[in-house]
Amino acid sequence: MMDLRLLQTLRVLHAQGTVTATAEALHLSPSAISQQLRQLAGEVGVEILRREGRQVRITDAGHVLLGHADELYAQWERVRADLGRHARSPYRTLRIGGFASSVGALLAPVAAELRTAEEAVETHIGETDTAESFRQLLPGQLDIAVLIPLADSPALDDPRFVQRPLLDELQDLVVPAGHRLAGRTGITLLDAATEEWISAHHDQERLTRALCTAAGFAPRMTHHADEWQAVLSLVAHGLGVCLVPRLVSTSGHPGVVRVPVHGDPRPSRRVLTCVRRGSEEQESIARGLAALRAAAARAVRLGAPAAG
């Protein structure tokens, strides 16, 4: 009988790209990873890896094996869900990761709710970007990811994951108080085409560039900051404008004004939940997904003020 752990090592190698990164994800040494991959190749009787310089490449036969491994692991996740219904302990552990602005608006209240429920779920929260979320899901470092899909993200029908829409989050243009656009009840992105722009963290910058390009111009990115508080401070000091999602609060920055952006479609970003395929029926993960949907619905109802 084949050891499923060997197949998991190959799957994580495919996702991580290198033996070193795979070892870190699985908390093993690189030599242990190499030994497991050699053992797997011996058990299946075909070459699954080919060394090219210092890198290893998965062969065509290895990709065939990966396809079957994904199906087997999805079924194993379902087995865990069935067995979990017979577990004696009501306590569960759940690991949720998400992008920065989702942590305060969605993940933190969900963790508090699950921890204090009658049947408590010990919930651990981590901030992760989209690419890192996918990498951490596969080896079990995360159970649920809240993420924004990007052009190079795994497809929605990727056999390793189940991705579901959580909310469509509108984006407002944030400008300095007293700015020529600050008193408007609504604008189009093209109204800000000649402005200096402040780029936020990597995922948001890519989204902003894509939205502006679709509107007919390339934004002139002059300043950059990763943290939203730093971005808002730059705006407040008159150094540029920025698209800011509704989950990001501007209440602590009286020097900025949110201006709703209209258009067809209106600038927004789709937020997804993502889990390992087959794991969505496991009790703690199912409860976490339900709590996230409820938190997202509350966030949509509350929204963000048109200005402030």
307 pLDDT band, cuts 50/70/90, is very low
Give the whole-angstrom CA distance, residue 215 versus residue 220: 14
Domain extent for 25: 4-84
pLDDT at 90 over 60: no
Query: Does any domain span residue 223?
Result: yes
Tell me the pLDDT of the chain averaged across its residues: 90
Query: Does any domain span residue 252?
Result: yes
Residue 31: CATH number of its domain: 1.10.10.10
Reported as a single tens digit per residue, the pLDDT across 102-113 is 998 999 999 999
Number of folded domains that form the chain: 3
pLDDT at 308: 37
Residue 252: CATH number of its domain: 3.40.190.10
Reported as a single tens digit per residue, the pLDDT across 190-220 is 999 999 999 988 778 988 998 999 899 999 9
Query: Does any domain span residue 71?
Result: yes
pLDDT at 2 over 60: yes
Give the whole-angstrom CA distance, residue 227 versus residue 127: 12
**Average pLDDT estimate for 4-24:** 92
Identify which has the larger pLDDT, 152 or 244: 244
Query: Does any domain span residue 178?
Result: yes
Query: What counts of helices (H) and strands (E) characterise the chain?
Result: 10, 11
Q: At a CB cut-off of 8 Å and minimum separation 6, what does 225 contact?
A: 198, 199, 200, 231, 233, 234
**Average pLDDT estimate for 241-256:** 91
